[in-house]
Structure 1
Amino acid sequence: MSHPDMQPSWIDAPHRCASLGRFRLESGEYIDDLLMSHVVHGDLDDRSRPIVLGVCAIGSTHHRLDFLIGAGRAFDPARVTVIVADALGNGLSSSPSNSATQGGSSFPRFTIRDMVNSQKALLDHLNIDALDAVAGASMGGMQALQWGVSYPRFMKKLVALVPMAKTTAWSQAVNQAGRRALETSGDWRAWLAIMHVLAMRTPERFEEDAARAGGTHAWLDKRAAWFRTQRLDPLDWIWQSHAYDAHDVGTTPGFEGDTARALASIEAHTLIGVPALDLYNPVEEGVRAAQQIGNATLLRVPSTSGHMMASEADAASAAQLNAEIASFMGYSRESAS
């Protein structure tokens, strides 16, 4: 996947790629030559500054958290350095679509813990031995919680928006429907109807979006045209969705499948944000994780946008999240307004 077309709200930071050699996966298989795509906002050479790692959602790139980065936002590059890492399988870091030696279906399956471990390898490559925080939304929020379990003393804080600690049967069924739309017809429009309407939005939010677009079919046509500019490879998304389905922090080595005990092991102060309703990652999963982490704050955002609450697509929620995260990180609310 080449870099998707720039969008007006995205930050045009220099795109970097680290070649990290042979990388062992949880399965015992290897990625022949791990490539870790990433961007840096701020001054990485100034190690007196706090460093935040941003991690991205399923099917997205390092631009996924741009709504939280910038002057006056939660992560202001004038005061903190932000490294945003592209996840395995997103077409920029090592993926089925871009591997020179393991392309297509020969690319090994990977897990969310493999994503986290590849990000740790990137930080080691950059000589970073501690973080102020790890932040992410959706699959990024799931990675953030996994960071807290896998590397409990590596960061001070976690920001996990619309996360799950263990993928629900509901979420697995949603992903399976998305996979079938791609595998049987290769039809992005059908996939969009499943993933970007039924999963990502609430009925109330889609009613508004469809009305602005001129109707349901007009919205789907416009969204499909926009999505083509993102150049996502179907197999990349399918491979990431399998990692999504299999996730459970409780299967981290040492926890014998005990999700609650794994969450209780998190030492970082954790902020978990959830909307009123989420038809992809059920709200109850975020609430349960906040209850089981010893030092956690649950933020309920009164959004009717569903899973999209944690994105630039909901301006009011984005403003609240920037203020709340800035406060959580120790910044003044005024600086994030």
Structure 2
Amino acid sequence: MKDYEIYSLGDVELQSGQKLPQAFLAYKTYGALNSTKSNVIVYPTWFAGQHTDNEWLIGPGKALDSDKYFIIVPNMLGNGLSSSPSNTPAPFDRGNFPLVTIYDNVRLQHRLITEKFGITKVALVVGWSLGALQTFQWGSSYPEMVERIAPFGGTAKTRPHAQLVFEALIAALQADSSWKEGFYSHQPTRGLAAMGRAYAPWGFSQSYYLEQLYQEEGYSTLKAYLEDYWDQVFLSFDANDLIAVLRTGISGDISANPLDKGNFEQALNRIAAQALVMPGSTDLFFPPEDNAYEVKHMPNAIFQPIESKWGHCFGIGQNEQDSLVIDNHLKQFLLLTNG
């Protein structure tokens, strides 16, 4: 049984000018909307993530307290639950699925919360990785609506190095002879496994591997970790879906819109919300210095690096110590900015 709901958006014109017919967002809510509709938190998903992957940060007693807040988790376009290559009818299915940007995702999420729920104020937008990029976009696109943002493990613009890594992940998958330009008869499993191998050294830090921290996850050797985890991790996903979301990440830039026209500093400066920006100290995708630059151009931002040896993956809830640190920083941020 599905544990999420669907919001139909009709035929949508994307930022690229292409149309996505009968588009829809899959989403899940936690908690109850109060009478003044002032307790709303939006928590977007990330590459290869679905709403259930965000649940580690949600619950009674946590910063995202479902007894206090109404938390909406919209699934990214392309993630297999919202409109994606794997669930869109021809001729926009599979390898023909159009480019969807971060701007597109946030614009349609805005429609969801305003049209479906009649919400006019958002207490907090929070997200990790590509969810962080969406968080920045929310703050820049809707400064009058968003009161706080807390992006962690992600930047407001995908820098060239991260773009190259994302391109390498796509190339690893497409090298499988079963790929067939996205019109495969069965999932290109060798390519999916190769994507996992290509992701492994970037998802975690040098210290993570040097100190064999994967042993805390139950893998006795590096060989076992690669074969039993990374060779399997993407096999449950549709190959076209993964590529669609990676392309969203490659094009990620909150200033790539009709108003800012590529003026990145202008887009950052428009984020009026109180902001808590939390990079991982050893993140190889989105290093702290990128966030430090962004914070300098945001009027109400706090720069709070998270010390972790878990690289980019400090923010996925697998490491309890990092999870507690993130949760505590969010609690303090909400407490500080509520006064």
TM-score w.r.t. length of structure 2: 0.89
Distance 2:332 2:68 in 1: 14
Partners of 2:306 and 2:271 in 1: CA distance: 23
Instruction: Describe the superposition over 1:229-288 as per-residue Cα deviations: whole angstroms up to 9, x where unpaired.
Output: x72111111111111111222222222311111101111111110121111112211111
- How far apart are the structure 1 equivalents of 2:332 and 2:147? 15
| Counterpart in the other structure of 2:126 | 135
Give the Å deviation of 1:81. Answer: 0.7
Retained in 2: the 8 A contact 1:267–1:294?
yes
Q: What SS does the aligned partner of 1:33 have?
A: strand
Determine if the alignment matches structure 1 residue 215 to structure 2 residue 221: yes
Length, aligned pairs only: 319
RMSD: 2.0
Aligned partner of residue 10 in structure 2, secondary structure:
coil
- 1:79 maps onto 2:83 in alignment: no
The SS at the match of 1:18 is: strand
For the pair 1:302 / 2:336, whether they are aligned, the reply is: no
Change in 2 beyond 3 A, CA 1:210/1:170: farther
CA distance in 1, matches of 2:231, 2:252: 32
What amino acid is aligned across from residue 264 of structure 1 in structure 2? N
Partner of 2:196: 192
Aligned-partner Cα distance in 2 for 1:91–1:166? 24
1:22-37 paired onto structure 2 within 5 Å: 22-37=11-26
Q: Which residues of 2 match residues 236-255 of structure 1 at below 5 A?
A: 236-255=241-260
The answer on 1:52 being equivalent to 2:41 is yes
Structure 1: any 5+ residue segments left out of the alignment?
Answer: 4-13, 333-337
Q: Which amino acid aligns with 1:112?
A: I
1:77 deviation in Å?
0.6
Q: Distance in 2 between matches of 1:64 and 1:131?
A: 22
Instruction: Show CA shifts across 1:153-199 (max 9, x none).
Output: 1110001001212211110111111001110124222211221x211
The runs of at least 4 consecutive aligned structure 1 residues that moved more than 3 Å come to 44-49
Q: Which moved more, 1:163-172 or 1:74-83?
A: 163-172
* 1:115-153 residue CA offsets vs partner (Å, 9 max, x unmatched): 111111211231222211111000000010011111111
8 Å Cα contact 1:56-1:86 kept in structure 2: yes
Are the aligned partners of 2:33 and 2:39 in contact in 1 as well (CA < 8 Å)?
Answer: no
Q: Offset at 1:73?
A: 0.9
| Correspondence 1:231 to 2:236 | yes
- Give the aligned partner of residue 201 of structure 1: 204
Q: Is the CA contact 1:309–1:317 (under 8 Å) kept in the aligned structure 2?
A: yes
CA contact (8 A) 1:162 1:286 kept: no
Displacement, 1:48? 4.6
Q: What TM-score do you get using the length of structure 1 for normalisation?
A: 0.89
**Unaligned segments of structure 2, at least 5 residues:** 177-187
